[in-house]
Amino acid sequence: MAEAQNGPGIERGGFLLFLALATAALIFVVWPFAAPLLWAMLAAILFQPLYQRMLTWRGDRENQAALLTLGIIFVAVIVPAFVIGGMVVDQAASVFTALRSGEFDIAGWIEQILAALPASLQAEIEKSGWTDLSQLRERAQDIAETSVALIAQQAVSIGSGALSFLLAFGVWLYVAFFLMRDGGKVGPAILDALPLESSITERLASKFLSIVRATIKGSVVVGIVQGLLGAITFWIVGMPSAMLFGLLMAIASMLPAVGSGLIWVPAAIWLFATGQIWEGIVVVVSGVAVIGMADNILRPILVGRDTGIPDWIILVTTLGGIATLGLSGIVLGPLVAGLFLAAWTILLEHRSEYIHDDTPDVENINV
């Protein structure tokens, strides 16, 4: 009798173990293509409204609508990204060569900036010990060379692994087509298969979609716009490698608190210190009135509402995601943080409801 009672439990446990092993094996097999699979899923989510419009236009022909949507993505997003990426890589290689040859004297620029400061501020800097240019120039030169070298190395790795890149791009294109076409069926099926209450899965799915939209639209798109505005500003004032600094501004704009000012403020200081007054004024005005306002104008239009994640958590998870996963970490970092906060919020709400339900009704207690 005991064996008969334990049988179903053992079989259920064995099936769950098999399911966990099969899932782990699948993740291990597809892990080399984790990045294109992630971006295919994000593309299917973000461009689903465009696909629905194409579907209506083509009379519910799903294959044609998916192909047209991918064609628009390719022309409007991927091709410009390749063109701009090529320009940035060329400028990064040029800057790296100039830094190694001594054509760009970072230490000389620092000396010019310090010399242009007021005498009282110079005195304070001397007291603090920051005028030890022997170490300061070495650190600045090393940071500049390392930062630019990373971009150049990425270009070399992409060029040397062209076959792998094309294979990953083909996987993205293929998976994005089917997720775009069948996403309305795949998403609910995944939610139904999760071993969670329907109310919890719906809230987690809603939080997932809101974070994806906020991260891609509210961070990546706004960052690209700010980077392009910064590159145009730097080109107007005649700064070298304007596209490279525009890329750095686009990346910096995704970081809360510091944002694009991390790039244009030092650029303006250098312009003022080197006697380029009107150029510095243009950079400051553009940074405050154009680049800075782009975030305030575009983010509410693109996102519509906040993710509910504190800025300091977004900053830490974005930097940690980039350090751990590379470019995909820009999305995965805040996404993991948002799901973490959402899960704990749901847990606390359910615990509060459970405690409230178990509280005895004092009025109905017979004394």
- What distance lies between CA 128 and its chain's CA centroid? 37
Report how far apart, in Å, the C-alpha atoms of 120 and of each of 114, 117, 124, 206, 265 are.
12, 8, 6, 55, 21
Please state whether 132 falls in left (phi above 0), alpha (psi between -120 and 50) or beta.
beta
* Other Cβ atoms closer than 10 A to 24: 10
Q: Which one is predicted more confidently, 242 or 236?
A: 236
Average pLDDT of span 154-163 = 55
Q: Is the pLDDT of residue 67 over 70?
A: yes
Q: In the prediction, which pLDDT does 72 show?
A: 92
**Structure confidence by residue, pLDDT tens digits, 32-57:** 888 888 888 888 888 888 898 998 89
Q: pLDDT tens across 164-216, in order?
A: 777 888 888 899 999 888 877 887 787 777 777 777 788 778 777 777 777 77
CA dist 123 and 125 (Å) reads 5
Per domain, the residue ranges of the chain are: 32-187, 198-353
CA R_g for the chain: 27
Q: Mind spelling out the 3-state secondary structure of 303-314? A: CCCCCCCCHHHH
What is the crossing angle of helices 292-302 and 222-236, to 10°? 150
Task: Please tell me the predicted confidence (pLDDT) of residue 362.
Answer: 46
- pLDDT bucket at 367, cuts 50 / 70 / 90: very low
Res. 71 pLDDT band, cuts 50 70 90: very high
Distance CA 170, CA 37 (A): 11
Rounded distance between C-alpha atoms, residue 177 and residue 41, angstroms: 10
- Read off the pLDDT of each residue in 290-313 and give the average, rounded to a whole number: 72
pLDDT (average), residues 320-325: 79
Q: Is the pLDDT of residue 294 over 70?
A: yes
Q: Exposure of 319 by Cβ count < 10 A (0-12 exposed, 13-18 middle, 19+ buried)?
A: middle
Q: What percent of the chain has pLDDT over 90?
A: 6
User: Phi and psi dihedrals of 256, rounded to 5?
Assistant: -65, 160
Question: Using 50, 70 and 90 to split pLDDT, how confident is the model at 13?
Answer: confident
